[in-house]
Amino acid sequence: MELILFIEWAKKALECNKHVLLEKPLAANAKEAEIISAVAKEKNLVLLEAFHWRFHPAAHFVQSTISSGKYGDVVQTHATMTTPAGSIPSSDIRFQKDLAGGSLMDMTYVCSATRYLLQCGAITDVVSAKARVSKKDSKVDEAMQAELRPPVGKNVKSFIYSDMNRANVAFLIPRIWEAPNVKIEMEKATITFYNFMMPHLYHYISIRDKTTGKTETVKKYKGGPRWGSRGEAWWSTYRYQLEAFVDKVRGKEPVEWVSNEDSIAQMQTLDAIYEKSGLGPRTGSLA
């Protein structure tokens, strides 16, 4: 997550007429995202933010299930991502303000999952945002929780929680690794997508029908509504992403894509949460 170095080198690569697959988050803030996107547009080059999880068949299955209308409208979403206390050294770049550190930046997946599954743009209506700051730097969030109002549906509430230093159980028992999780509460069902970030390693999608009370568990490692017969069950999210990237570079329409406009909307969302928390947007090197 060396954002400042990444985006500087990404800009240099684009200026040298190279297509770029850029680590998430695309930039330190929305202004930087706009700058790097403008360079790619001017050069007519491919610039892709590496939200690899979005290219996996499991993500497509969940999103298509939500948008199908079968279970009514979305009521609430909850996205969480944590790492156990002490698993990330305090000297890590994620805890450094001058490298745009912070749990929301590193675990930006919680906002990515929320926006993608709801198929919405920037979420700038932030009801509340509370950061637990690092002991070494009060401008760096080691954890962030927020309540959002995405611009979709009928007063949908979205909750996100990121934590780079998740406390041990009762402060005594080491907490085991918790896979990223997103829960979508709908009018007629509750959908849980467990380990949405790395579904190729292991995941499950549970759908509890509120009418029948029955729960269906689904796993999708290949195929699905986007890839069809293309792909293999052993392909990682990175392989699916690479397939789409190569298609785009070759002038073909990719199965899935993260547009530069979408990446800008993602950073606008992070900026809005940071602003509401009182920490303010991250400082970058381009803006």
Is residue 31 situated within a structural domain? no
Residues 270 and 283: their CA atoms lie apart, in Å, by: 12
Is residue 115 situated within a structural domain? yes
What is residue 285's predicted lDDT score, i.e. its pLDDT?
79
For 69, residues 6+ apart whose C-beta sits below 8 A from its C-beta are: none
Q: What is the pLDDT of residues 207-256, one digit of tens each?
A: 999 999 999 999 999 999 999 999 999 999 999 999 999 999 999 999 99
Is residue 121 situated within a structural domain? yes
Residues 197 and 181: their CA atoms lie apart, in Å, by: 8
Q: Point out the residues of the chain with pLDDT beneath 50.
A: 1-4
Q: What phi and psi values does residue 192 have, to the nearest 5 degrees?
A: -120, 125
| Domain residue limits at 199 | 54-231
Is residue 107 situated within a structural domain? yes
- Other Cβ atoms closer than 10 A to 20: 23
Q: What is the pLDDT of residues 184-218, one digit of tens each?
A: 999 999 999 999 999 999 999 999 999 999 999 99
What does each C-alpha distance from 250 to 45, 77, 240, 247 come to in angstroms? Answer: 11, 37, 16, 5
Is residue 75 situated within a structural domain? yes
Is residue 83 situated within a structural domain? yes
Q: What is the pLDDT of residues 271-283, one digit of tens each?
A: 999 999 999 999 8
Is residue 253 situated within a structural domain? no
- Our count of domains for the chain comes to 1
- Cβ-in-10-Å burial (0-12, 13-18, 19+) of 68 comes to exposed
Is residue 256 situated within a structural domain? no
Among 248, 187, 220, which residue's Cα sits nearest to residue 63?
220
Q: What secondary structure, in 3-state letters, does 63-77 show? A: HHHHHCCCCCCEEEE
- CATH code for position 146: 3.30.360.10
What is residue 173's predicted lDDT score, i.e. its pLDDT?
56
